[in-house]
Amino acid sequence: MDVKSAFFNGFLEEEVYIEQPMRYEVNEHEDKVLKLNKALHGLKQAPRAWYSRIDDYFLKNEFIKCPHEYVIYVKIKKNDDILIVCLYVHGLIFIGNNPKMFEDFKQAMINEFEMTNIGLISHYLGIEIKQGEDRIFMNQ
């Protein structure tokens, strides 16, 4: 899944001020700066604000953060259904053993964040991935 607005919807943990953009200065206040309420794309705090927002969401929704890799979250249900989610810049990759959990997760992500389901993964970190009915082939 791809997050359309990952770096635009994160709230900042500290105060950030910017100069007024050219051609958008406030008349008679050109020497003043603007205080940002949300992270902007390109702002060095934007990735941290995005991660903080989605991390809070996962932890509030019964996901467990992997203690060894901070971008991996796991949700295990009482019937041993499992969903593993990996954050990748402004996208999500997930695997598991229950297609209903996939659909519920996708819908929850679309409802909470502005996301697009881009389908089955075909490439990841230089690895080609082909998925069949009962197999997954990976080739570098």
Closest to 94 in 3D by CA, of 72, 116, 78, 110: 72
Higher pLDDT, 133 or 97: 97
The model scores a pTM over 0.85? no
- pLDDT score of 58: 94
The encoded tokens of residue 13 equal 């943990």
**If you average pLDDT over residues 69-91, what whole number do you get?**
89
User: What rounded mean pLDDT belongs to the chain?
Assistant: 78
Check if the beta carbon of residue 96 is closer than 8 Å to that of residue 83: yes
- pLDDT score of 6: 45
**What pLDDT digit, counting tens, does each position of 8-56 carry?**
455 556 676 777 777 777 788 878 887 766 555 455 666 677 788 889 9
